[in-house]
Amino acid sequence: MAFAFHMEALRKQRVLDRKNDALDRISLRQTEIERLNEEHLRHQRRRTLEQEEANAKAREYYLKNMGRMGTLQQNGHPQRYIDMIPERQDSVNRDDLRHQARVLRDSCLYMGPVNEYFWS
C-alpha cells in the first residue's frame, strides 16, 4: 500500500515538473517575442529618422537651388529672384507651384486651387 502512495506521489511530481517546464518555455518564448518586437521598433525608428533626414536634405537642396534661381540670400528669396521683373517672378512662382502640386499629388495629397486667397 505504501508503494502505491509512493508511485502516485512520483507521478504527481512528474506532472508538476512537466507543467513547470512548459511554463518556463512559454515565458522564454514571450521574452524572445518581446525582444524581437523591440528590435523591429528600433529598426523602424531608425529608418524613419533616416528618411526624415533624407527628406530634409532634399528640401534644403531644392530651396538652395530653387530651379534657376540660385541660393537663398535675402529675406528667404534669392537675390536673382528679387532683381527680376514681376512678370518673370510670376512665371517662376507658377513653375514652383506646379512643382509643389506634383510633389503633393505623388504623395496622394491635394494642394487646392490657387486663387486670390492662396497667398493670404
Does 49 or 67 have the greater pLDDT score? 49
Extents of the domains making up the chain: 1-68
pTM here is: 0.44
CA triple 79-80-83, angle to 5 deg: 85
Span 32-41, pLDDT tens digits: 999 999 999 9
Percentage, residues of the chain above pLDDT 70 = 71
Lowest mean pLDDT among 5-9, 19-23, 57-61: 57-61
Grid cell listed for 57: 536634405
Mean pLDDT of 99-108: 76
Grid cell listed for 13: 511530481
Spell out the residues 6+ positions from residue 111 whose beta carbon is closer than 8 angstroms to its own.
97, 100, 101, 104
Question: Three-state DSSP class for 93?
Answer: helix
Q: What is the predicted pLDDT for the residue at 75?
A: 58
